[in-house]
Structure 1
């Protein structure tokens, strides 16, 4: 009996040791056989040019390139977890991934619930109009119009606030591409959206879209992290500093946005919440 108990105890010990060696889902083997930590990234892959699927269903975009560059600096394998925007923050809280690199604006309200890296990209909410439309120079000019936004974004929040004093209709869509399709179809008059995204759509379809002179907010973009995850925050900030110093960050911006929006970022938040 004692011998049986001893054998069972040894077997359990071996199993526990094996489990301890293999249960860490944040490790993977590199090309040279070295074990690498995995950095899991939550991303809404429907937001070109920042993060989206190309014609081969490959995940590409500014933030995708940035996340991979951060992974290289940290010697970590990057794994992307595609998540709808409406659930992306709850997914971070429930530890579905380590961080969000998905065009997340830094806002006072979000800073209460999450930690952020240093800002890596200039951003603000702008109004997209039809080419030649000069009637929109300030948010008040939206009065009486139909305005398209992506649901639960800072554009959505800003539009809701302005609507309180300026009567206009807000039409909310699950994906940003739907707002631009709706504008082309005549269902919305204007779109409120992040500046880098507006640049992409205007560049690809100058006959349909133009960016007005009205800017609603200033809300630079950073890596979103769970509250209190200071170790990862420090590592990512270190990686961003290196990427800025060696020119990689600028190169990524020029490749995906057509110009450098990573230098001289205005860090003073001007956000509507």
Structure 2
């Protein structure tokens, strides 16, 4: 009986060692959760593969930082709870860095400003800022930071809509002079929609600060340091700007 118990214990320890060895081999793989429902940042293509700006950015950061990534499609509802529980190492899903979130999780360096941008007709030239649109009419979804920015400008006629798509349609039909929206959403309408991409364009740079970052579990400096090293290299090399032009311009 004692011999059997000893043999069983030895077998269990051997199995444990195998799994421990496997985990050690995979220690350079960062598992990242993403809710792939928000083009052009992260979404599924026809083959059900996760693609988008965030995906390309992560892959570039992994290559530059010398680590590997595995992206898992995860519903937004509960995505941060899963991070806190250790179900994955990080969350990259168009996550805005806020003081409230920083209290319960750590963030990488900001990798993009996803603030408000200006959408105008392809035919309009010489306009790239709100100041340039003085005396003209701009649309935005009601209650958004875009609508607030237009209102604060003071010398622009604001027209609000229940849905951003209605504002985009009005712009395409020539009923207003421009639309203000979050840069990723603007890119989805202007670049990803066959109806509008030949009629509309995004001009200028974001004029509000709404920075995205990769979230990691509070105190997980090992993962955070790897992500930061990779992201900084991609940003400094100019590769991030190339991805902006690919997905968001």
- Bin of the TM-score, shorter chain as denominator length: 0.5 to 0.7
* Equivalent runs, 1:136-175 vs 2, <5 Å: 136=138, 147=142
1:194 aligns with 2:196: no
Cross-structure match for 1:135 = 137
SS of corresponding position for 1:85: coil
Check conservation: 2:67, 2:226, Cα contact below 8 A: no
5+ residue gaps, structure 2, are 125-132, 150-159, 171-177
Cross-structure match for 1:175 = none
Cross-structure match for 1:270 = none
Distance change >3 Å, CA 75–CA 201, structure 1 → 2: same
1:236 aligns with 2:244: no
TM-score w.r.t. the length of structure 2 is 0.68
* Equivalent runs, 1:210-249 vs 2, <5 Å: 217-249=208-240
Distance change >3 Å, CA 200–CA 239, structure 1 → 2: same
Distance change >3 Å, CA 87–CA 208, structure 1 → 2: farther
Q: Distance in 2 between matches of 1:45 and 1:198?
A: 17
Q: Distance in 1 between matches of 2:188 and 2:34?
A: 18
Distance change >3 Å, CA 20–CA 147, structure 1 → 2: farther
SS of corresponding position for 2:83: helix
Q: Distance in 2 between matches of 1:17 and 1:191?
A: 64
The CA deviation string for residues 172-224 of structure 1, in whole angstroms up to 9 with x for no partner, is xxxxxxx6499769xxxx998531331232134247877699x7841111111
Check conservation: 1:201, 1:209, Cα contact below 8 A: no
1:81 aligns with 2:72: yes
TM-score w.r.t. the length of structure 1 is 0.63
Cross-structure match for 1:176 = none
Cross-structure match for 1:11 = 8
Cross-structure match for 1:45 = 36
Q: Distance in 2 between matches of 1:226 and 1:191?
A: 37
Q: Distance in 2 between matches of 1:147 and 1:84?
A: 27
Cross-structure match for 1:256 = 247
How many residues matched?
A: 220
Check conservation: 2:187, 2:247, Cα contact below 8 A: no
1:203 aligns with 2:191: yes
Q: Distance in 2 between matches of 1:70 and 1:23?
A: 27
SS of corresponding position for 1:86: coil
Distance change >3 Å, CA 170–CA 14, structure 1 → 2: farther
Higher relative contact order (CA 8 A, sep 6+): 2
Distance change >3 Å, CA 192–CA 251, structure 1 → 2: closer
Q: Say what the alpha-carbon RMSD is for the aligned residues.
A: 4.0
Distance change >3 Å, CA 60–CA 79, structure 1 → 2: same
